Chains A and B, each alone.
Chain A
Amino acid sequence: MNSWKRALLYVGRRKKKSLLLFLVMWISLLSVMTAVGIRKTSQAVTAGLKEKLSGYFTVIPNLEVDGAARNLNDGLCKEIVQTENMLTYNGNDVFYMSLPDVTLTPGRFTAAGEEEGAHAACFLAATRSEYQEQFYLDNLNLVKGEHLQEDDVGQALISTALARDNGLEIGDTFQSMVTENYRGTNEAALGNVYTYQVKGIFQVKEESEPDAERAEFDFPENYIFIDIQTDRKIVSDLRGGEFDWYRNGVNFYIRDSARFEETLEETAEMFHFDTDGYEIEQNNGKYQSSAGPLERVGFLTGIFIVVMIVLGIVILYLILFLWMRDRKHEMGVYLAAGIGKKEIFGQLILESLLLYAVSAIAAGLCTGALSGVVGRMMAAGMTELAGYSGEAGYMLATAAAGFVVVLAAVGMSFLSVVRMTPKAILSSN
C-alpha cells in the first residue's frame, strides 16, 4: 500500500481528527489572510487619506509686479506638478456677473430694491473644483453630479438652495448676462449672454439666512463655480483681450504632507516664487491634525498582523505536534512492517496537504469577503477608496507561507517520533 493510499485512508477514516486539523488550519489561515488583507486595506486607506488630506500652498501673484501674474498659467503649473511630491494644482479666478432670470438668496440689494445687484452672483472659476479651497476645506460639499475638470466647457456647480429656488437639476441650463455695473473694461461685452449647464450641486455646510445687510454675491448659496475654459472666454470678453493666466492664484497640492516644508522650499526656489512677484500661503493643517491617528492605525494593524501570524503558527504547530504524538504507535507499526521513514513522512505530508489545500481554498474565499467588508468600513465616506477586496497574489503568498509552516510543523513533530527506534516506539505505548 503506497503513501497516497494510506494518507487517504487516514483522512477518510479519522473524520473527527481530520475535521479538527482542517478547522485549525482554516482558522489560522483565515486569521492571517484577513490580517494581511486588513493591513493592505489600511495601507491603501492611509495612503489615500494622506493624499486626500494633502497639504497645499497657494501662490498668489502680485498684480503690481509686471509679468508675475502672466507667468502663472497652465503650462507652468503642469511643469510644477511634475516635480517630486507634487500631487496636482487648482487655479482660481473670480468675477461678478448678473443672472437676470435666476432667483438668488436675498440680501442687501433685494432689500434695497436694486434689481441688478439682486441678481449679481460671484463666479468662481476652478481648474478642478474638488481642489478648490471651499470644497477642499469642506465648507461646501458636492451632493449631486460631478466636479468641474480642466477640459470642461460651459459647466457649472450651483448650490442646493439655488437649485431648489429655480427648479434646476443636473443637466439643466441657466444664463448670465454682462450688465452695466458688472461689465469689466470692455464696453463691447455689454449685453453678452453666457449659458451654463449644471454639472453638480453642492450643499453649503452652514446655510445662510436672508440678510438685509449682506450683498447677494457674498452668500455662498449664490456662488456659481464654473470651469476654467469658460472663465477664460468670459474674462477675455470682459477685458477685451486674450487672458489665460490665474489672476487669483493657484493652489498646489502635495502628495506626502510629511515633507511639506521641504517640498515648498524646493518648488519656490525652482520656480522663483520666492520673489516680490508672489505671495505664498501655506495650509498643512488637515494632515498635521490627522497624522498622529493615521500613523497609529498603521502601527496597530501591523501589531495585529504579527500577533495573528505568531498565534496561527503556534496553534498550528501545537496541534500538529499533539496529533503526531497521538500517532506514535502507528508509526512504530509501520516501521515494524518495513515501511521506511521517508515513506511515512511522505504519508504525513500528503495527509496535511490534503487538509491544507481544502482549508486554504476555504480561507481564501472567506478572506475576500471579510477583507472587503472591513475595507469598506475603513474607507466609509471616501468613495474613491472603497471596495478593496483580497488580491489573489497576497492570498497565494500567505497560503504558500502557511504550507511551509505546516511542512515544518509536521517535520519537527515527526522528528520527535522518528528519532526513537521502532522497539522504543512500540514499547512506549
Chain B
Amino acid sequence: MAVLEVKDVGYYYFSDKPVLKGVNLSFEKGKLYAICGPSGCGKTTLLSLIGGLDEPKSGEILYEGQNIMEKGKGLAWHRRNNVAFVFQNYNLIEYMTPKENVLLTAKEDPIPVLESLGITKEEAGRNVLKLSGGQQQRVAIARALASHAPVILADEPTGNLDEDTAAEITQILKSNAHKQGRCVIVVTHSDAVAEEADVVLRLDHGKIVEAK
C-alpha cells in the first residue's frame, strides 16, 4: 500500500515555465527510491513538495490517503510527523553539537542513534563544524532517523562526499528502507546510488519519463 501519493502535481516559478507538469507517483514503505535526471529537471522541487517545504501549484500530495495540506494539520505537521530530510549540504545548526542537532527532532536520547551511525559519544559533544563531511552527513541522517518519521527524503546526500563515504551513506539509507521499513526517497545524480535503489524514477523537463 502506498504511503505517499503524488497526484497530477504541477509547479512553476514563473507561469510560462513550468518546472513540474502532471506528475503522478506513488511510494511504498520498505523501499529505496531514486529520482534521477539532468540538472534543472525538477527533482529537488518534487522532493520539496513531497516533504511539505512548499505547496504544489496544481494537483495534490497524499500521505496515507490524506492531503498533506489538510486543514487542522497542514504542512508543518506533515514535516514534523511524517517526513524527515537529509540535505546535500547537511543543513546542521552550526553552533550546536551533533547531539543537540539530533535533539531538534529526537524524541529520546540521541546518543544510541548517533553511535549506530559511527559517531562516538565524544564526537557527539563537539561542535559539528569540527567533524568531517562524512561525519556531518551521518549526523544529518541521525537527525532524520531520530524523528521516527516513516518517510526519509534525501536530496543529493552523497553529493559532497568521497566515493567510499558516499557508499557507506547509501548503505545506511538502504538499510533503513529494508530493515526499518521506511520509505526512503533519494534525489541523486549518482549512478552508484541509483543502482542501489529498488525503484529508479527518471525526470525530464518536469515529467516522469521512466520508472524501473
Contacts and interface: CB of A to CB of B under 8 A. Distances in A.
A9 interface: yes
B89 to A, nearest CB: 8
Interface residues of A, number: 23
Contacts of A14: 95
Given A1-B100, A9-B100, A336-B51, A341 B95 contact: no
A204 to B, nearest CB: 74
28 contacts: A1-B103, A9-B96, A13-B96, A14-B95, A329-B91, A332-B91, A333-B92, A333-B104, A335-B53, A336-B53, A336-B87, A336-B91, A337-B84, A337-B104, A337-B105, A337-B147, A338-B76, A338-B79, A338-B81, A338-B105, A340-B76, A421-B53, A421-B54, A421-B55, A422-B53, A422-B79, A423-B53, A426-B53
Given A1-B103, A338-B81, A10 B95 contact: yes
Given A9-B100, A333-B91, A335-B79, A423 B147 contact: no
Interface in B33-79: 45, 48, 51, 53-55, 76-77, 79
Pick the most buried of A10, A338, A339, A423: most chain B CB atoms within 10 A of its CB. A338
Given A1-B100, A330-B93, A341 B76 contact: yes
Given A423-B48, A424-B54, A1 B93 contact: no
Looking at chain A's contact residues, the main secondary structure is helix
Contacts of B103: 1
B121 interface: no
A189 to B, nearest CB: 95
Interface in A1-19: 1, 9-10, 13-14
A38 B27 CA distance: 70
B130 interface: no
Contacts of B93: 330, 333
A334 interface: yes
Interface in A344-383: none
- In the complex, the 8 A-B pairs of residues with the closest C-beta atoms, listed nearest first: A338-B80, A13-B95, A423-B53, A423-B54, A338-B79, A422-B53, A423-B48, A421-B54
B76 A335 contact: yes
B31 interface: no
B174 interface: no
A9 B81 contact: no
Contact of B104 (A329, A332, A334, A424): A334
A420 B84 CA distance: 20
A332 B84 CA distance: 14
A337 B52 CA distance: 11
Contacts of B85: 336-337
A285 to B, nearest CB: 69
Interface in A380-429: 421-424, 426, 429
A174 to B, nearest CB: 82
Contacts, number: 63
Contact-size category for B: 20 to 34
Given A1-B103, A330-B93, A426-B91, A337 B51 contact: no
Interface of B: 45, 48, 51, 53-55, 76-77, 79-81, 84-85, 87, 89, 91-93, 95-96, 100, 103-105, 143, 147
A14 B55 CA distance: 34
A14 B89 CA distance: 21
B51 to A, nearest CB: 7
Contacts of B89: 429
Contacts of B76: 335, 338, 340-341
A1, A9, A329, A423, most chain B CB atoms within 10 A:
A423
B48 A337 contact: no
B120 to A, nearest CB: 21
A336 B77 CA distance: 11
A174 B21 CA distance: 114
A94 to B, nearest CB: 84
A422 B76 CA distance: 10
A338 B95 contact: no
A338 B92 CA distance: 14
A300 to B, nearest CB: 46
Nearest to A330: B93
A294 B203 CA distance: 80
A346 to B, nearest CB: 14
Contacts of A337: 79-80, 84-85, 104-105, 143, 147
Q: Which of A13, A330, A337 has the most CB of B within 10 A?
A: A337
B93 to A, nearest CB: 6
A1 B103 CA distance: 6
A139 B87 CA distance: 87
A421 B79 CA distance: 13
Given A337-B105, A422-B54, A423-B53, 19 more contacts: A1-B100, A1-B104, A9-B95, A330-B93, A333-B92, A333-B104, A334-B104, A335-B76, A336-B53, A336-B85, A337-B85, A338-B76, A338-B77, A338-B147, A339-B80, A340-B76, A421-B54, A421-B55, A422-B79
